């Protein structure tokens, strides 16, 4: 998989392209049903597709989700698409 690079403070992390190792992207309605009313451990990443740090975390979270499938749920919320939801969680 080709990776793009972005220099951050002299460090050049390997950033996967958007969509690589995609996690379920949920909206505010799904957040209410899957997260607020969900059962068991749940990880939610509030992210932006333009954020290199968010994109760098995506394969890590995808790996965790795969290794712990059935034990935890991992979701992403786009702060660009759901600004009110992000703001309600002080993000």
pLDDT tens, position by position, 23-61: 899 999 999 999 999 999 999 999 998 899 998 898 999
State the sign of the Cα–Cα–Cα–Cα dihedral 21, 26, 27, 28.
negative
Higher pLDDT among residues 47 and 12, named by residue: 47
Per-residue pLDDT tens digits for 65-85: 999 999 999 999 999 999 999
- Please compute Rg for the chain using Cα positions: 14
In the prediction, which pLDDT does 5 show?
43
CB atoms within 10 A of CB 73: 19
For position 21, what pLDDT does the model report? 52
């Amino acid at each position: 998989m080709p990776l793009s690079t972005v220099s951050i403070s002299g460090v050049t992390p390997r950033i996967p392209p958007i969509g690589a190792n995609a996690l379920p992207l949920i909206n505010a309605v799904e957040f209410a049903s899957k997260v607020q009313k969900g059962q068991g451990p749940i990880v939610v990443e509030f992210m932006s597709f333009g954020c290199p740090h968010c994109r760098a975390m995506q394969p890590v979270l995808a790996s965790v989700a795969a290794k712990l499938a059935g034990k935890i749920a991992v979701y992403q919320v786009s702060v660009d698409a759901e600004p009110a939801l992000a703001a309600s969680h002080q993000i």
